[in-house]
Amino acid sequence: MNHSTRVRNIPPYLFARLEEKISEARRKGMDIINLGIGDPDLPPPAILTESVKRHIDEPDTHFYSTSRGNLRVREDITQWFKRRFKVAIDPETEIAVTIGSKEGLANFSRAYVNPGDYVGVPNPGYPVYGNAAVILNEGRLKDIPLRKENGFKPNISDFEGCKLVFVNYPNNPTGAMADYDFYTELAEWIEEHPETVVVHDAAYSEMTFDEKPYPSFLQYTRNTIEFHSLSKVFNATGYRIGFAVGKKEYIDGLVKVKSQLDSGAPLFIQRAMVDCLKGYNGDIPSIEVLENRRIYAERKSIIESGLNKLGYKVHPTPATFYIWFETGGDEMEWAEKALSAGVAVTPGRGFGSMGEGFARISATVPDERLKEALGRLTKIN
Ligand SMILES: Cc1ncc(COP(=O)(O)O)c(C=O)c1O
């Protein structure tokens, strides 16, 4: 029996293919340094693990949760949002807890994309936009190029004609950040284009390394939905927890879909998320976040300067644990050579055609391994 056309249209997930190649090399006894996948190697902080253990014993946490998320948890997140971004959110209507932001992004798109609708997908971009939001909804992909000449930000006029558009800053895979002018222009565009839903994916909002805290797009417009995640900055990808904030109608759409597909994130994980967020002092992150930032920033600078020394054109940014650089030729061939030398990286075209000639490195291994990886890369130069 064939899978449905929708499912057959999904291209093989890049990371799965990469994992296969890595496993194959490891089976042959090779030591592979995996810089390919954005999964933090550091353990989650004690505040998170202790909190999960405590909440799991509470008498009400084994029940079905609700698709919108526990009200008390939503109230606590909105208080964090107020402290962190100075934006007031109605906990009843303008927020939903998600099972990580991937789930939220995919399910939200189902609420708005009809077959044949254009969906604006950043190129290069997080592959889930094109696969889950376009192919699984039988939508049509509208390429939104992110060019290096434009700081990997889109031309907003490219959003014309889309039913839904994804905007993601700090950005995966480029690490780019958007600025005041970009968000202001985008907010104005949204006012003039009520037919388009603009989704802001802020999964990396807490992973920036300069002085200024990264803004929320809700500081510029309330006419959007923004996705947040605990995954990256709390080293908690496996805990599957995040939340969406924004316009009531959008949150309602998301919750309507979720209520048919899941019963919400486990309550003990929701409560643990809140305990982590309570560690912030105003917009100053908790020590756990500051420590993670320090480590990732240091690792990034090791890789950026190492690649520079090897003669690669690096696009350094003070955000995310990704390094986006030009391989100087066909990046698939380069990635194959790197793998033969024992270093796995993600070839840029896995994020879209505009990624050709680029590769992404994730700073998700300790410093010594990074240095070892750079040493191995000198040999393929
Ligand atoms: C841009 C972006 N958005 C969303 C996600 C999903 O994160 P999670 O579902 O773990 O919150 C990722 C994960 O890599 C990502 O890079």
Instruction: Name 188's Cβ contacts closer than 8 Å, sequence gap at least 6.
Output: none
Instruction: Report helix, strand or coil for 230.
Output: coil
pLDDT for res 137? 97
pLDDT in tens, 280-323: 999 999 898 899 999 999 999 999 999 999 999 999 999 999 99
Q: How far is the CA of 125 from the centre of ligand 1 (A)?
A: 11
Residues 252 and 334 in one domain: no
Residues 331 and 272 in one domain: no
Residues 24 and 105 in one domain: no
Residues 262 and 160 in one domain: yes
In this structure, which residue's CA is closest to atom 16 in ligand 1?
Answer: 172
Residues 27 and 76 in one domain: no
CATH code (residue 292): 3.90.1150.10
Cis geometry, peptide bond prior to residue 347 (ω within 30 degrees of 0): no
Supply the range of the domain harboring residue 162.
47-277
pLDDT for res 17? 77
Q: Which of 277, 306, 331 is the last residue of a domain?
A: 277
Residues 139 and 258 in one domain: yes
Residues 180 and 300 in one domain: no
Instruction: Report helix, strand or coil for 179.
Output: coil
Contact 255, 67 (CB under 8 A): yes
What phi, psi does 144 have (nearest 5°)?
-115, 95
Residues 292 and 157 in one domain: no
Tell which atom from ligand 1 comes closest to the C-alpha of 229. Answer: 11
pLDDT less than 50: residues of the chain: none
Does ligand 1 lie within 6 Å of residue 126's CB atom?
Answer: yes
Residue type present at position 211: E
Kindly list the distances between the CA atom of residue 146 and the CA atoms of 17, 126, 168, 196, in Å, as whole numbers in the listed order.
25, 12, 11, 19
Residues 374 and 271 in one domain: no
Residues 96 and 40 in one domain: no
pLDDT in tens, 63-117: 999 999 999 999 999 999 999 999 999 999 999 999 999 999 999 999 999 999 9
List strand residue ranges (DSSP E) for the chain, in order.
Answer: 33-34, 95-98, 118-123, 140-145, 164-168, 197-201, 225-229, 242-246, 313-314, 322-326, 343-344, 346-347, 358-362
Distance, in Å, from the CA atom of 332 to the CA atom of 323, rounded to the nearest integer, reads 17
Residues 236 and 110 in one domain: yes
Residues β-bridged to residue 95:
245
pLDDT for res 21? 86
Global pTM exceeds 0.75: yes
Distance, in Å, from the CA atom of 367 to the CA atom of 295, rounded to the nearest integer, reads 9
Q: Which of 15, 18, 101 to mutate to test the pocket of ligand 1 (most atoms within 8 A of CB)?
A: 101
Q: How many domains does the chain have?
A: 2
Task: Look at residues 306, 381, 380 and name the one whose alpha carbon lies nearest to residue 340.
Answer: 380
Does ligand 1 lie within 6 Å of residue 175's CB atom?
Answer: no
Q: How far is the CA of 91 from the centre of ligand 1 (A)?
A: 23
Kindly list the distances between the CA atom of residue 337 and the CA atoms of 142, 333, 342, 352, in Å, as whole numbers in the listed order.
33, 6, 9, 21
Q: Which of 209, 244, 277 is the last residue of a domain?
A: 277
333-337 contacts at long range (C-beta below 8 A, 24 or more positions apart): 334/359, 334/380, 335/359, 337/380
Q: Which of 227, 244, 277 is the last residue of a domain?
A: 277
Residues 345 and 257 in one domain: no
CATH code (residue 220): 3.40.640.10
